[in-house]
Amino acid sequence: MGTIMAVQSWQKSSFSGDTANCIYLAAASDGSIKLRESDDPDIVITTSLDGLRTFLLGVKAGEFDHLTR
């Protein structure tokens, strides 16, 4: 069985408002960042702060725009 890391409180963007399609972020006790989607909160993705930063910079630069067409 895997080790369960303590997760601080889940936070969502204030831009999400009351919509159902939200991404939540949380910092774990091991320093990792946890992400989950409101539609399926049992699936949690784990990354590092640098990994999240790189992903967000890619999104802002349009590197994933071709996936929405």
Identify the band that residue 45 occupies on the pLDDT scale cut at 50, 70 and 90.
very high
- What's the order of all strands across the beta sheet hosting 40-47? 11-12, 23-27, 33-37, 40-47
The Cα 48–Cα 32 span in angstroms is: 5
Taking residues 20-39, report their average pLDDT: 90
Angle, vertex CA 29, rays to CA 45 and CA 25, nearest 5:
40
pLDDT of residue 56: 93
Identify the DSSP state of 69. -
The Cα 36–Cα 44 span in angstroms is: 5
Total-model pTM: 0.72
